[in-house]
Amino acid sequence: MQPSKIPANKNQRVIDKYGPCPCDSKKPYHKCCRPFHQGELPSSALLLMRSRYAAYALGLCDYIMATTHPQSRLYCEDKVAWSADLDAFASQTSFDGLKILNFEESGDTATVAFRAYLRAGGQDVGFSEKSSFARVDGRWLYIDGLTSD
């Protein structure tokens, strides 16, 4: 793994850390997802899920990649290509909100059901998803999700 080869995400967004967190928690970013984006480990899959949504909104592709389980179908060995894909998606999408519908955690596995409010090219591309997560060596990771419109 050679992270230095990954180009900086050109579409990374910088926001006021005292402003509202992009995960739609109504809390300020610095008291919500920012610590996770800076390396603190979320204590639950729900916090990880919220911080991944916020990372998409901010174009923090490295965070998305680092919190994806290697067995996920989204996982890609080619980090440069993967980062470019994530960057393109994040920059073309407006992240308008997040609603948590359900959260279940049992030992080192968890599921989070949510609705993501997204727009791209003037279209509503929001979706609902039930995501599964696993805790590996103390870190919650995203595995996969079942989506519906």
- Four-residue CA torsion sign, 90, 93, 99, 103: negative
Among 1, 16, 32, 58, binds Zn ion (CB under 5 A): 32
Q: Applying CB under 5 A, does 33 fall inside the site for Zn ion?
A: yes
Could you tell me which stretch among 50-58, 105-113, 121-129, 131-139 binds Zn ion (CB under 5 A)? 50-58
Please work out, in degrees rounded to the nearest 5, the angle formed at the alpha carbon of residue 132 by the alpha carbons of 26 and 52. Answer: 35
Q: Applying CB under 5 A, does 21 fall inside the site for Zn ion?
A: yes
Cα–Cα distance, 66 to 62 (Å, whole number)? 6
Q: Applying CB under 5 A, does 61 fall inside the site for Zn ion?
A: no
Q: Which is nearer to Zn ion, 73 or 99 (CB)?
A: 99
Q: Applying CB under 5 A, does 23 fall inside the site for Zn ion?
A: yes
Q: What b/e sequence results for 77-87 when a residue is b if at least 16 CB atoms lie within 10 Å of its CB, and e otherwise?
A: eebeebbbebb
Least separation, in Å, of the C-beta of 27 and Zn ion?
A: 6
Q: Which is nearer to Zn ion, 23 or 61 (CB)?
A: 23
- Four-residue CA torsion sign, 121, 46, 23, 96: positive
Task: List the beta bridge partners of residue 117.
Answer: 97
Least separation, in Å, of the C-beta of 33 and Zn ion?
A: 3
Which tokens hold the place of 113? 């059901």
Binding site for Zn ion (CB under 5 A): 21, 23, 25, 32-33, 50, 54
